């Protein structure tokens, strides 16, 4: 058996070729994904003068500088954008979690008349595209005088049917016996929710929170409709503002510095919670 | 009775928010779309009818937006689904570096569309000072450089398509990789013993096994692509009509707000037309999938 | 505390939603549990014993009937206000809490004048842990414990608030055989030490017989018999109870009473003074057989199983209902295994007669008295 036959050798060679080709293909796409990130990072550390003197852009820089980061903060209210986005993200996620937990608990644990019908109606709402309701919401918020306020930004996005559904499913996997045990141990429904269900469902809650944070951090359309004062902009709108009106001049390195700063928090979050985010997204999250 | 009240209290926040920001708007958008000559300032209208629809359907900006959206859908849905399938098959056949590749591929999902769009614009743009990164490549192959951001229509559409594919691929790769991973090894082993060629294994086993997920991706892909907007804004700026790169969703928002805004009735009519298109396509997709998908 | 159930009935709607049929899980169940006793609620699965337990602890509301703890009517009191302790079949420990937190949980829920200080709670939790011998496991999570240890934690959690009544739902069924024997002695000890009125549900008659002060035998939602285990065993009211209690199970034959004689397969095996003529079912406990060369009951010999102290003689008889007769005799009694048949005399006290239709017990002296 020492000597491989001709056919065996051929198959072995073919396998190696296929494997090599696969790795090349995967590496090419990995480069395509990473290249824009590399380019933004690279451009953000080239000096203004160096960047503009390169007719053919260089793939590296010998004299990296952080001056663009300084000017990004100085020449645009970037810090304000960050603060707004942070407040918006935390408040929206917090309120959304509260609303979601209460509703999911009612569906999963409580018995009430018409539960199945109400839940079916909830599910039906999942199919309603945002574009259809955003017009009225725009009018509602505008006529309520909530333009350029956090209320106006936050309130329309705190009830998520999908997350209620997700958490309800998770709550229902908690064995009935625990509820009975807690009843016999003398707890109220609310205390059971807080002391037993929430700790057990913590992984799902974290997943939901992270997905919502990503959504909030990247939201563009609604903030654009509802804010027109620069001081109220979120990062997406801030970036768009910088893109269109610049830093007084076409300062690409400073723009790229801003872009790096905006992208960084979520990339860090993703690298920390990679598995959880990917699992959560594959459960039915879609982009947009 | 006591139980009903209690459950109702737990549900109350969700009911209020969904009622105000989803159920009521749903009815309201219909009403808006039929109110003719609606005036935002005075909140009055002159009549009820189909004039908003006929205006929108004759508006050259809307027609341009519809054309752009359809072209975008027709390019990006097949390309992104096919590419995702190829990449997922590749990912599934390797062990080393698989995690690293998966992590990298998912990155676009968590990045800000507007922010990275700006990077794409810089890469593709041609300015008096520089041809831009992509044009260096173009020159290597053909010679004449193109401004992909302010230049000819096909060039702009190409950039938009590339960026859209780049943005939607993470989700599709994720779904297809896990679908492929859940096909039982037994089937492949059985096929190997039966002496099936790799192509036959792929077309007779792999594809049928993952076909429900594939169709799920195609359906959500269509829906998502029809709602394209922020990708286009990121590349071409907020004045999409001037750039000739507006999308249906962009048209809706432009009618609502901004320099050309203040017409919620037109926006509503356009939104309902969009909904009708998406709905029809989804139904067609479902009908095809019912015939084709192996469950 | 004494517990009294008064004509408890529980009706469930049918699983099939469209049908209007209902399922009666428990029907007019009445019995009284004396204070401080250990009671086994016994029956085959689906007999309504678990429903009865749920009714006592308040997790289910009865369709009709009343429940009294002492003299207090607790029928309308929800579970959290009844002050009962419940141990679940699968223990239902809170997976995210340590053993200590699990045991503390019921104490933290006490309100009003029952509220305890932190030190008191800790002291009580430690006491309960000591009682079930898990003091060294307090900081572990339930997933880090063996089944037997989880069981003990569950009991400690149920006991820590000094419940009026302790309820256990199939407490031993998730344990392996050796642990089961050990734990049941443990249960007995804990109940003795605390003196808490205890009800436990089981389908294992041996378990119930071995540790209960009183057993209640149920079938299809109805109580068939209740009383001291030995009394119920010796004097069952009907064939079901007779068959359900005892290992190995009672041997049942088709028989006949004619002229004050009990006949099995035509052979007169016992005097049956006072019993009316007619067909009967004859139940013979496995310890009721006495091998004897001129015994009246002749059976086909199959095999002998020696099990230390006892010997089982396995044999057959045409009138026997079932697969094979199992007679348990002392190991010293010689059995001739060379012959194709084996003859027995019967101990009259171990022979029970039943009406073949109603399956009610017929007593040997009943006719004489009536």
pLDDT over threshold 50, residue C104? yes
pLDDT at res. C368: 40
**B touches A (3+ CB pairs < 8 Å)?**
yes
B285 lies in some domain: yes
Q: Measuring CA to CA, which residue among A113, A119, A105 is closest to residue A192?
A: A105
A196 contacts C80? CB cut-off 8 A: no
* pLDDT of residue C18 exceeding 80: no
A102 touches chain B (CB under 8 A): yes
Three-state DSSP state, B239:
coil
pLDDT of residue A284: 63
Residue ranges per structural domain of chain C = 3-243, 249-369
Decide if pLDDT at C14 tops 80.
Answer: no
Inform me whether the C-beta atom of residue B267 falls under 8 Å from chain A C-beta atoms: yes
Strand partners, B39: B44
| pLDDT band for position C115 (cuts 50, 70, 90) | confident
Domain membership of residue A93 (yes or no) is: yes
- As a whole number of angstroms, the distance between CA C163 and CA C87 comes to 12
What does pTM read for this prediction?
Answer: 0.84
CATH of domain C3-243: 3.40.50.300
Q: Mind listing the pLDDT tens digit for each residue in A117-172? A: 999 998 888 888 888 899 999 989 998 999 999 999 999 989 899 999 999 999 99
Residue A156: inside a domain: yes
Instruction: Examine residue B185 and say whether the peptide bond preceding it is cis (omega within 30 degrees of 0).
Output: no
Q: How far apart are CA C159 and CA C124, in angstroms?
A: 10
- Interface membership of A224 toward B (CB under 8 Å): yes
**Angle CA(C60)–CA(C237)–CA(C51) in degrees, nearest 5?**
10
User: Would A251 be classed as within a structural domain?
Assistant: no
Q: What is the pLDDT of residues C271-280, one digit of tens each?
A: 888 888 999 9
Residue B29 confidence (pLDDT) above 70: yes
Q: Is B48 helix (H, G, I), strand (E, B) or coil?
A: strand
Query: Does any domain span residue B83?
Result: yes
pLDDT, position B151: 87
For β-strands C261-264 and C251-258, DSSP reports them as antiparallel
CB pairs under 8 A between A and C: 62
Query: Is residue A149 assigned to a domain?
Result: yes
Burial of B89 (0-12, 13-18, 19+ CB in 10 A): middle
Residue C309 CB coordination number (10 Å): 9
The token pair at C217 is 């035998």
State what percent of residues in chain C have pLDDT above 70: 97
Check pLDDT > 90 for residue C199: yes
Q: What is the pLDDT of residues C165-187, one digit of tens each?
A: 999 999 888 888 888 888 888 89
ipTM, two decimals: 0.90
Residues of chain C contacting residue A195, judged by C-beta atoms under 8 Å apart: 105
* Three-state secondary structure readout of chain C: CCEEEEEEEEEEECCCCCCCCEEEEEEEEEEEECCCCEEEEECCCCCCHHHHHHHHHCCCCCCEEEEEECCEECCCCCHHHHCEEEECCCCCCCCCCCHHHHHHHHHHCCCHHHCCCHHHHHHHHHHHHHHCCCHHHCCCCHHHCCHHHHHHHHHHHHHCCCCCEEEEECCCCCCCHHHHHHHHHHHHHHHHHHCCEEEEEECCHHHHHHHCCEEEEEECCEEEEEECHHHHHHCCCEHHHHHHCCCCCCEEEEEEEECCEEEECCEEEEECCCCCCEEEEEEECHHHEEECCCCCEEEEEEEEEEECCEEEEEEECCCECCCCEEEEEECCCCCCCCCCEEEEEECHHHEEEECCCCCEEECCCHHHHC
Q: Is A63 on the interface with C (CB under 8 A)?
A: no
Quote the domain boundaries for residue B176. 51-292
Task: Specify the number of domains making up chain A.
Answer: 1
Task: Compute the nearest-CA separation of C82 from chain A (Å).
Answer: 8
Residue A185 has its nearest CB partner, among C58, C96, C109, at C109
Half-sphere exposure of C8 (CA within 13 A, CB side): 32
Within 8 A of C58 by CB-CB distance, chain A residues are: 183-184
Which residue on chain A is closest to B273 by alpha carbon? A132
Specify whether the CB–CB gap between C3 and C197 falls below 8 A.
Answer: yes
Contact C74, A163 (CB under 8 A): no
Contacts of A178 in chain C (CB under 8 A): 92, 94
Considering CB atoms only, which of C80, C85, C97 is closest to A183?
Answer: C80
Query: In this complex, do B29 and A214 lie within 8 Å of one another by their Cβ atoms?
Result: no
Nearest by CB to B115, which of A57, A259, A278? A259
Task: For residue C150, give Cα distances in angstroms to A7, A96, C16, C30, C144.
Answer: 61, 37, 36, 33, 9
Shortest distance, CA A180 to any CA of chain B (angstroms): 17
Which two tokens mark A96?
Answer: 């959304």
CA distance C41 to chain A (A): 19
Closest partner residue to B3 (CB to CB) among A36, A112, A262 is A112
Of the residues B84, B86, B114, B274, the best mutation for testing chain A's interface (the one with the most A CB atoms within 10 Å of its CB) is B114
Average pLDDT of the segment spanning B209-236: 91
Q: What are phi and psi of C4, to 5 degrees?
A: -130, 130
Does position A8 have pLDDT exceeding 80, yes or no?
no
Per mean pLDDT, which range of B227-231, C124-128, C302-306 is the poorest?
Answer: C302-306
- C-alpha dihedral over C350, C351, C354, C360, to 10 degrees? -20
| Contact across the interface for B130 and A54, Cβ inside 8 Å | yes
pLDDT score of B294: 63
Residue A104, domain CATH: 1.10.3720.10
Residue A104's closest chain B neighbor by CA? B11
* Residue B285's CATH number: 1.10.3720.10
pLDDT of residue C16: 65
Average pLDDT, chain C: 90
Q: Are the C-beta atoms of residues C270 and C353 closer than 8 Å to each other? A: no
- Average pLDDT in the C44-71 region? 92
Domain count, chain B: 1
Does residue C21 carry a pLDDT above 80?
A: no
**How high does pLDDT run on average in chain B?**
89
Per-residue pLDDT averaged across C67-90, rounded? Answer: 91
Which residues does chain B have within 8 Å of residue A235's beta carbon, measured at their own beta carbons? 112, 115
Asked if A180's CB is within 8 angstroms of C59's CB, the reply is yes
CA dist B274 and B228 (Å) reads 11
Chain B positions touching A89 (Cβ under 8 A) are none
Q: What domain range includes position A187?
A: 76-245
3-state helix, strand, coil in chain B (%, to 5): 75, 0, 20
Would you say residue B161 has pLDDT above 50?
yes
Whether the predicted pLDDT of C370 surpasses 60: no
Give me the residue label for tokens 């999902």: B109
Query: Scanning every residue of chain A, which has its alpha carbon at the shortest distance from the alpha carbon of C157?
Result: A185
Nearest CA in chain C to A179: C92
pLDDT for res A3: 62
CA distance A278 to A207: 9
Q: Determine, yes or no, domain membership for A43.
A: no
Average pLDDT, rounded, for chain A: 89
Please tell me the distance from the alpha carbon of residue B228 to that of residue B164, in angstroms, as a whole number. 8
Q: CA of A29: how far to CAs of B112, B125, B176, C350, in Å? A: 20, 22, 16, 85
């Amino acid at each position: 058996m020492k000597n491989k036959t001709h056919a065996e050798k051929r198959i072995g060679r073919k396998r190696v070729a296929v494997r090599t080709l696969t790795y090349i293909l995967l590496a090419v796409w990995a480069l395509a994904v990473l290249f824009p990130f590399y380019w933004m990072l690279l451009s953000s550390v080239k000096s203004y003068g160096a960047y503009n003197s390169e007719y053919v852009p260089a793939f590296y820089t010998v004299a990296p500088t952080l001056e663009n980061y300084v000017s990004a903060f100085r020449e645009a209210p970037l810090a304000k954008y960050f603060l707004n986005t942070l407040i918006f993200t935390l408040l929206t996620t917090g309120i959304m979690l509260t609303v979601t937990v209460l509703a999911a608990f009612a569906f999963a644990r409580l018995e009430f008349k018409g539960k199945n019908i109400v839940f079916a109606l909830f599910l039906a709402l999942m199919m309603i595209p945002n574009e259809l309701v955003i017009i009225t919401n725009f009018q509602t918020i505008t006529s309520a005088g909530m333009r350029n306020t956090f209320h106006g930004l936050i309130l329309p996005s705190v009830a998520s049917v999908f997350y209620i559904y997700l958490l309800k499913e998770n709550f229902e996997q908690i064995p009935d016996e625990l509820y009975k045990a807690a009843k016999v141990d003398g707890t109220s429904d609310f205390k059971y929710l807080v002391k037993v269900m929430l700790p057990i469902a913590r992984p799902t809650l974290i997943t939901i929170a992270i997905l919502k944070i990503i959504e909030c951090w990247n939201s563009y359309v609604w903030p654009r409709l509802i804010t027109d004062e620069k001081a109220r902009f979120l990062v997406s709108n801030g970036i768009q503002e910088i893109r269109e009106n610049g830093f007084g001049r076409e300062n690409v390195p400073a723009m790229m510095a801003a872009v790096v700063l905006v992208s960084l928090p979520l990339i860090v979050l993703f690298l920390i919670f990679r598995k959880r985010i990917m699992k959560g997204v594959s459960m039915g999250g879609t982009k947009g | 009775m006591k139980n009903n009240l209690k459950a109702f209290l737990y549900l109350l926040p969700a009911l209020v928010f969904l009622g105000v920001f989803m159920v009521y708007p749903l009815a309201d958008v219909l009403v808006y779309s039929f109110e003719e000559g609606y005036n935002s300032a005075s909140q009055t209208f002159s009549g009820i009818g189909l004039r908003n629809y006929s205006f929108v359907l004759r508006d050259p900006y809307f027609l341009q937006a519809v054309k752009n959206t359809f072209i975008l859908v027709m390019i990006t849905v097949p390309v992104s689904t096919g590419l995702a399938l190829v990449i997922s098959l590749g990912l599934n056949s390797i062990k080393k570096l698989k995690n690293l590749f998966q992590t990298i591929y998912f990155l676009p999902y968590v990045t800000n569309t507007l922010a990275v769009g700006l990077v794409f614009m810089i890469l593709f743009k041609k300015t008096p000072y520089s041809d831009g990164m992509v044009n260096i490549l173009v020159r290597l192959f053909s010679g004449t450089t193109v401004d992909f951001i302010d230049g000819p229509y096909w060039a702009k559409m190409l950039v938009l398509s590339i960026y859209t594919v780049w943005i939607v691929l993470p989700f599709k790769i994720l779904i297809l990789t896990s679908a492929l991973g859940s096909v039982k090894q037994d089937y492949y082993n059985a096929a190997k013993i039966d002496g099936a060629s790799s192509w036959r294994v792929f077309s007779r086993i792999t594809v049928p096994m993952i076909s429900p997920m594939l169709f799920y991706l195609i359906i959500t892909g269509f829906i998502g692509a029809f709602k394209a907007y922020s990708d286009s804004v990121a590349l071409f700026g907020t004045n999409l009509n001037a750039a000739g790169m507006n999308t249906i969703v962009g048209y809706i928002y432009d009618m609502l707000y901004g320099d050309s805004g203040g017409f919620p009735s037109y926006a509503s009519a356009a939104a309902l037309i969009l909904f009708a298109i998406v709905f029809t396509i989804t139904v067609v997709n479902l009908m095809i999938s019912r015939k084709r998908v192996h469950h | 505390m004494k517990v009294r159930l008064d004509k408890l009935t529980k009706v469930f709607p049918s699983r099939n939603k469209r049908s209007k049929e209902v399922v009666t899980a428990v029907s007019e169940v009445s019995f009284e549990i004396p204070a401080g006793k250990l009671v086994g609620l016994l029956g085959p699965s689906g007999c309504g014993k678990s429903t009865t337990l749920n009714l006592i602890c308040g997790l289910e509301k009865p369709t009709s009937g009343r429940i009294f703890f002492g003299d207090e009517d607790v029928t309308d009191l929800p579970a959290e206000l009844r002050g009962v302790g419940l141990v679940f079949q699968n223990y239902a420990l809170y997976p995210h809490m340590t053993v200590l937190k699990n045991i503390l949980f019921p104490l933290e829920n006490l309100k009003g004048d029952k509220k305890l200080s932190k030190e008191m709670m800790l002291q009580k939790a430690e006491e309960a842990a000591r009682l079930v011998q898990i003091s060294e496991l307090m900081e572990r999570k339930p997933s880090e414990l063996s089944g037997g240890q989880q069981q003990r934690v569950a009991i400690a959690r149920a006991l820590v608030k000094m419940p009026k009544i302790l309820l256990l739902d199939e407490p031993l069924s998730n344990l392996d055989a050796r642990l089961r024997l050990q734990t049941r002695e443990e249960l007995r000890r804990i109940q003795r030490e605390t003196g808490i009125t205890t009800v436990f549900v089981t389908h294992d008659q041996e378990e119930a017989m071995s540790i209960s002060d009183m057993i209640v035998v149920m079938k299809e939602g109805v109580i068939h018999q209740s009383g001291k285990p030995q009394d119920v065993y010796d004097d069952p009211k009907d064939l079901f109870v007779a068959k359900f209690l005892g290992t190995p199970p009672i041997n049942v034959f088709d028989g006949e009473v004619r002229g004050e004689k009990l006949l099995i397969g035509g052979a007169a095996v016992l005097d049956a003074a006072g019993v009316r003529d007619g067909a009967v079912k004859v139940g013979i406990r496995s310890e009721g057989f006495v091998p004897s060369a001129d015994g009246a009951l002749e059976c086909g010999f199959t095999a002998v199983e020696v099990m230390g102290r006892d010997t089982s003689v396995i044999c057959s008889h045409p009138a026997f209902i079932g697969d094979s007769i199992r007679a348990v005799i002392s190991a010293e009694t010689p059995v001739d295994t060379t012959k194709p048949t084996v003859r027995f005399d019967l101990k009259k006290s171990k022979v029970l007669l039943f009406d073949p239709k109603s399956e009610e017990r017929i007593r040997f002296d009943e006719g004489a008295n009536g």
